[in-house]
Amino acid sequence: MSLGSVSFSGLSSGVDWRSMIDQLIKVDHKRVELVSSRKSTQESKLKAWQDLTGKLQALKSAAEELRKAQAFNVFKTSLSSSSSTSASEILVASTDQYAVPGTHEIQVLQTAQAQKLSSQSFTSRKEALGGSYAGSLLIGGKLLTIEAQDTLESVRDKINSLNRGSNASGVWASIVSYSSTDHRLILTSQKQGSQGMDLRPVGETDLLAALGFTTSSSQIKNPTSSGARSANFSSSTSSISGLLGLTGTHQGTVSLGGQEITLDLSSSLSQIASQIDALSGVSARVVSQTGEDGLTTYRLEITGTTSFVDQNNVLHALGVLSNSFGSLQEIQRSDTALSKVGGGAVTASSTWSQLDTGGGANNITNGDTITITGTKHDGTQVSATYTIQDKSTETLQGLLDAIGAAFGDVTASITADGKIQVTDNLAGASALAVTLRSNNEGGGDLDLGDLEAVQKGYSMEVATGRDALLSIDGGYVTKSSNTVDGVIPGVTLDLLKAEQGTTITLRVERDLDSLVKKFKDFTEKYNAVMDFIKAQTKYDEETQKTGGVLFGDGTLSSVKSELMANLVSRVWGVSEEFSIPAMVGIKLDNKGKLSIEESTLRGYLSTNFQDVQSLFGASGTTSTGSLSYVSYGINTKPGTYSVNITQAAARASVTGTTDLSGGLSGDESLTISTGGSSARVTLSSGMSLAEMVAAINQELQATYAEVLVGDASLYRDAAATQPLTDTTIWAELYDSSGQSAGLQSGDVISFSGTDRRGRIINGTYTISDVNTDTVRGFLSAIENAYGNQVVAAMDSSGRITLTDRTVGPSSLSLSVTGPSGRNLSFGTIDVDPTGADGSKEGRYALPIEASASADGRNLVITHRNYGSTESFSVDQENDLVLGAGLDGDYAGTDVAGTINGEAATGQGRTLRGNSGQANVDGLTLIYTGNETGEVGTVTLTLGVAEGFYRSLFRMVDAFEGYITNKQDSLRSYIDRLGEQIQSMEAQLERRRAAMTSQFIQMEKVISKLQSQMSWLGQQISALGK
């Protein structure tokens, strides 16, 4: 191919210059081939190093399994039974690293059980329940609202939707269909234990009783020796309605100890306690408790009476009272009403001759029989016959007696309207079924009808929640779950079955099989590395061939030497008899490979476990109780190091100067802030120091959900005397001056804001009909837009509120824009720092506590944590509780000192050797003392596995490993060679093109000369003629 045209080599010149060029390029290309060969060699080396890296990584993982002390803490259990019942039928045992070898005797006396409740029977799953079932109840502290159009299935779905998310109700619902007309809603507690489900009716309708889960009778839910306690609440100062997600007004006039008092759930727990405490002979207070999760909850404690009468389920919503459970009797009733000849319903004393069998006459004949069949309460079949001997003297009571005799424990009767009814005297689930067939041997028309269940017998509490009870080594243990832990160290028991009299013997022992397997894995991974190195470094003297591409590489020799050194070097700080692996049966042969004498290793693991553990793992000890070893770093060296403390850690603290031994001299408001959260406490004049400490600590330990409150009150009357509620229609809405909102059908209200995570929320609500639509529709639109993670409501002052359903710091915000040209404003909706409007900043408990000074005169406020980053600020409104000049910020101090005379940095009580120090780099301790100077020593021992781990870290670490760096260098070199090859190939192509161009030009010149010679020849020939 020529420049822009097709050419043929030697067409004019007769010279095959194309072949000449190819030969010249081929000679020059040998330099490229040399570079390509070099590149292939380097790629082979890179592949070999990558293969070795994989084997080293595997060895590093195996070493990791032996370097930590807890890696040796593997245990196994065995169970045996004292009876013919297999131990595995009664319980299963598992262990973790904190187990301790030993033997334990266990008896499972009772397994835990989850509570299960049944509703009454419903004839349909899909038909609307109707208005009699409309209302609300609390399930696990979450609000369930049932509407008239709800079906049994939609109620089930609503209940299950409450059992999702971080604050789940803990209750699942299902429907059991016993027949096509017998459907029951079943509630099951997600958790086992005697505590059972938390179900509370709220409002005027007792939905629990209406649905048949409970009776309408009340009992004290959490009784004490002289009173009762309420349910737990996350706050003592927030509105109960807000905490429970209730909307509208919830109040009732209740009786405590015969004294009436009106309680409103828009009040806080503390406010309700104050109301009750004012009653004669009755005391009430708020008590707090902090759970294992660190969250503090509050409950109302009432003493002085056990007499409670509720109204509108206010005491039930508080959890003071609960409904009781019962059982209903099965009732079978005929669908035919029997009447007398001449009119009127029959009774049990009516004779058979008085019974109207049709047409106002009686055609029963003596000797007629009635067949009685069916099933008893327990399902036993029944078959009997009743004979009418003399219809003029015998009464229907004879048949009733025959039914009673046939079915046993039942009551047969005739209702006021003349229907035969059979009632099961045994309450609860019943198989009772009654059939009465008139045989009419005399040709009569007697028909007693078909008996059907008009009330299904059932037990409301299908399964009682109960705790597990077991005996362990002679002591009794009660647990709310069949998973029992925290009793036997490091052992978890899963209870399967209770069997009194059967003792299960649990044996906990070290799992030597698992430990030996770890050592075998380490040995195999080490030998795989050595096999690879041997294959690469071998040399055949006869053929003079090397083993691999890494032959003669000094780095490979370094890898081998460094790894072997960890096996032959004695470990510092351990027993001399157990200082190298060979002493416990892990030996290095003359070929550099490891082997295990398993019997020897097992023997030492049994008799000298700690010695073997110290030989391979890492451990730290201290000489004094105020010093604790925490951890070490990759560069920490083994040794015994003295610890010198120049400053002990301290907590942020302030001690008041005001003498409070005589009480508080006036009203005070104290605000304590830390980490972006604040606690504001109102203290009353005359409070004692102990009362102030209790009040401050209660507030500091409180957890709150964010509550936003609007600053505009709206009303449902022009006089502005009746605050707006969620049931107010839009046509009846007025502002505080009495001006109508002037809303019209079709108006659109817009709202926007952010959820607790700060995500933007936007939404609208359209008023379809101002005369029928209520404010609740707008509030529901807000809740839906926020994913139902908030509760929107109107408070008792007609202000809009938005409450986060989750406690803790929140970015919740809301603003509302009314329709253009209308007089609608909910005002600014936010948190008032004073909390005077009921708004509340969401937060967790603050890590600060209040106390009295040693002499009992002054208030002391102290951070619970140590260190300079753990700070708080205080602000007094009147300088009465702490004293003048004490408002401001307070911070703790960090521990300071040296380890082995080397620099270390403190954070709180933790002291860590600085990076780059010769010996203690990364060594971390905790100092809990107050003394300064030489406070003790720390000894660090690093075993064989730690040595391997460090060696391998230096080799294959992704950032610092020297083998990693070597591979990076090889990749760079290979890339450069590739670039060089491309450059050389391009240069050859350019030379080929240049030579081709020159030869083409030569052909053109020759062709031109040949043309000229031909023309001259023609001219000469012409002249000759």
In sequence order, what are the beta bridge partners of 143?
Answer: 138
Q: Locate tokens 């269909």: which residue?
A: 177
Please, what sign has the CA dihedral across residues 252, 254, 260, 266? negative
Q: Kindly report the CA angle at 692 between 687 and 693, in degrees rounded to 5?
A: 150
Could you tell me what percent of the chain has a pLDDT over 90?
A: 79
Q: What is the CB-side half-sphere exposure of residue 436 using CA atoms within 13 A?
A: 28
pLDDT bin (cut points 50, 70, 90) of residue 2 is very low
Q: What is the C-alpha separation between 304 and 225, in angstroms, rounded? A: 10
> Are the C-beta atoms of residues 608 and 574 closer than 8 Å to each other?
no
pLDDT of residue 1025: 63
Please determine, for residue 195, whether its predicted confidence score (pLDDT) is greater than 60: yes
CA distance 172 to 188: 5
Q: What is the DSSP string of 299-354?
A: EEEEES---EE-STTHHHHHTSEEEPP-EE--EEEESS--BBTTSSB--TT-BGGG
Q: Per-residue pLDDT tens for 108-159? A: 999 999 999 999 999 999 999 999 999 999 999 888 989 899 999 999 999 9
Look at residue 932 and tell me whether its pLDDT is greater than 60. yes
Bridge-based pairing state of the strands 296-303 and 283-290: antiparallel
Question: Reduced to 3 states, what is the DSSP secondary structure of residue 676?
Answer: coil
Which residues share a beta bridge with 654?
861
Q: How far apart are CA 937 and CA 621, in angstroms?
A: 8
Q: Please, which pLDDT band fits residue 805 given cuts at 50, 70 and 90?
A: confident
Alpha carbon 858 to chain centroid distance? 43
Query: In this structure, what token pair is assigned to residue 508?
Result: 């906990």
Q: Burial, 847: exposed, middle or buried (Cβ in 10 Å; 0-12, 13-18, 19+)?
A: middle
Residue the block writes with tokens 């029951």: 184
Q: Calculate the alpha carbon distances from 1016 to 268, 1006, 1007, 1009, 1020 in Å.
A: 125, 15, 14, 10, 6
Between 247-251, 456-460, 617-621, 886-890, the lowest mean confidence (pLDDT) is in 247-251
The pLDDT of residue 5 is above 60 = no
> Nearest-CA neighbor of 245 among 724, 707, 799?
707
Q: What mean pLDDT is predicted for residues 43-56?
A: 94
The CATH number assigned to the domain with range 705-830 reads 2.60.40
Give 274's pLDDT tier (boundaries 50, 70, 90): very high
CA dihedral 548→549→550→553, nearest 10 degrees, is: 120
What residues does 617 pair with on adjacent strands?
Answer: none
Q: What is the reported pTM?
A: 0.75
Closest CA to 222 of 340, 148, 130, 318: 318
Rounded to 10 degrees, what is the CA torsion of 45, 46, 50, 55? 20
The H-assigned helical ranges of 680-730 are: 689-701
761 class by beta-carbon count within 10 Å (0-12 exposed, 13-18 middle, 19+ buried): middle
Dist CA 564 CA 529 (whole Å) = 11
pLDDT at 486: 92
The chain-wide mean pLDDT, for the chain, equals 92
Single out the residue of 323, 267, 324 nearest to residue 300, CA to CA.
Answer: 267
Alpha carbon 680 to chain centroid, angstroms: 31
- Looking at the chain, the whole-number percentage of residues with pLDDT higher than 70 is 98
User: What token pair was written down for 666?
Assistant: 């006036």
Residue 289: predicted pLDDT:
79
Least confident of 243-247, 561-565, 623-627, 713-717: 243-247
Cβ of 700: how many Cβ atoms within 10 Å?
21
Average pLDDT over residues 902-913: 97
pLDDT of 1 > 70? The answer is no
At residue 47, does pLDDT exceed 50?
yes
What are 152-184's pLDDT values in tens digits? 999 999 999 899 876 789 999 999 999 999 999
In angstroms, the CA 648 to CA 933 distance is 10
CA distance 73 to 53: 30
DSSP alpha helices (H): ranges in 68-186?
87-90, 152-161
1025 compared with 657, residue with greater pLDDT: 657
Secondary structure of residue 225 in the 3-state scheme: coil
The span from the CA of 561 to the CA of 257, in Å, is 88
DSSP string computed for 601-645: HHHHHHH-HHHHHHHHSEEEEESSTTEEEEE--TTPPPEEEEEEE
CB atoms within 10 A of CB 54: 13
Three-class secondary structure of residue 221 per DSSP: coil
Predicted local confidence at residue 15, as pLDDT: 80
Distance CA(523)–CA(534), nearest Å, equals 16
Residue 422 has pLDDT above 70, yes or no: yes
Give me the numbers of helices (H) and strands (E) for the chain, helices first please: 16, 59
- Cβ burial of 665 (10 Å; 0-12, 13-18, 19+) is middle
Whole-angstrom distance, CA of residue 710 vs CA of residue 814: 9
Q: What is the mean pLDDT of residues 950-967?
A: 92
User: Both tokens of residue 686?
Assistant: 């005359």
* pLDDT at res. 294: 64
Task: Write out the two tokens for 233.
Answer: 């609440």
Whether the predicted pLDDT of 544 surpasses 90: no
What is the distance between the alpha carbons of residues 288 and 300, in angstroms, rounded to a whole number?
Answer: 9
**Rounded to 5 degrees, what angle do the CA atoms 161, 165, 170 make?**
65
Q: Is the pLDDT of residue 11 over 80?
A: no
- How crowded is residue 450: how many other Cβ atoms within 10 Å of its Cβ? 14
- Confidence at residue 8, expressed as pLDDT on a 0 to 100 scale: 60
pLDDT confidence tier of residue 7, bands split at 50, 70 and 90 = low
What is the three-class DSSP state of 927?
A: strand
**Whether pLDDT at 1009 is above 80:** yes
Mean pLDDT of 670-699: 92
d(CA 369, CA 388): 6
Report the candidate in 240, 252, 264, 230 with the shortest Cα–Cα distance to residue 311: 252
Distance CA 655, CA 281 (A): 39
Report the Cα 347 to chain-centroid distance in Å.
Answer: 64
Residues 481, 486, 489, 490, CA torsion sign: positive
What are the pLDDT digits (tens) for 918-928? 999 999 999 99
765-787 burial, b if ≥16 CB within 10 A, otherwise e?
Answer: bebeebeebbbbebbbbbbebbe
User: What are the helix (H) ranges across 622-752?
Assistant: 689-701
Domain ranges of the chain: 17-58+962-1024, 75-111+482-510, 114-326, 331-459, 620-649+895-942, 651-702+845-891, 705-830
Q: Per residue in 72-117, pLDDT tens? A: 999 999 999 999 999 999 999 999 999 999 999 999 999 999 999 9
Fold of the domain spanning 651-702+845-891: Alpha-Beta Plaits (3.30.70)
| Burial class for 850, CB neighbours closer than 10 Å (0-12, 13-18, 19+) | buried
User: In terms of DSSP H, where are the helices of 500-540?
Assistant: 512-537
Distance between CA atoms of residues 233 and 95, nearest Å? 36
Per-residue pLDDT, 293: 66
Place of tokens 């940095």: 905
Instruction: Extract the tokens encoding 794.
Output: 């109107």
Q: How confident is the model at residue 838 (pLDDT cuts 50, 70, 90)?
A: confident
The Cα–Cα gap between 223 and 232 comes to 14
How many CB atoms lie under 10 A from the CB of residue 167? 16
Please give the Cα distance from 509 to 135 (Å, whole number): 58
Of 267, 356, 276, nearest in space to 320 by CA:
276
Give the sign of the dihedral formed by CA 879, CA 885, CA 891, CA 893. Answer: negative
Structure token pair of residue 69: 């002390």
Q: DSSP E strands: which ranges in 155-282?
A: 171-179, 182-192, 199-202, 218-220, 222-224, 227-229, 251-256, 259-264
- The pLDDT assigned to 28 comes to 87
